Amino acid sequence: MADKYDLEEELCEILSFLNKHDFELLKYIKKFLKNGEKYTYREEFEKNQHEREKYANLNAENDNIEYKRIHFQDRSVILGEDKTIFWNDFANYCKLPIEISLNNTMLFESYKDKSRLILSNWNFYGKSFIKLERCGILRLDYNTFLGTMNNMEISRFHLTILGLGLLKYINVIDD
């Protein structure tokens, strides 16, 4: 227990749990980060600019007073263009119809061609999202609804420190 447990050792342990579809999803994510259009990301970033400025001003005020004011932030977190990926942007990059949620990729059979002979890998990528979250590679943020929340109705996902470390070792070939 006294020995240091470094990032590479943690990544090796995680790698033993991953399969072909998990690695394919990680390649999709890395390709998206490199080449994908981030329309929803930019919209949300600009929309929340005022909140970030208000928070920065509050921090400056807190430096000069004895009792600190607290800034409450909603769950709508954006960690950065290299870490936060909105589902709409990612689905568009992967050529999924916009109305297809991650949940629907697992619930219904999908096919690569109109002859309906070849089952799409998207049936497996939904499971990979869950697996990668449990391994600490991704953190999923969900759309909020009144009533029951489905953990597969994601609005965005974030790469964790482990996720960023793992992507460094994944090679992708530009199409």
pLDDT digits (tens, 9 = 90+) for 114-146: 665 455 667 778 888 889 999 999 998 887 766
The reported pLDDT for the residue numbered 77 is 74
For 39, phi then psi, to 5°, come to -65, -50
What gap in Å lies between CA 47 and CA 69, rounded to an integer?
23
* Distance in angstroms (rounded) separating the CA atoms of residues 77 and 129: 19
Residue whose tokens read 């004895």? 66
pLDDT tens sequence for the chain (175 residues): 456 668 888 888 888 899 998 999 999 999 999 998 998 888 888 877 766 666 655 556 556 666 555 555 556 677 788 899 998 899 888 877 666 777 777 776 665 556 654 556 677 788 888 899 999 999 988 877 666 666 667 888 999 999 999 999 888 776 5
Distance CA 41, CA 46 (A): 9
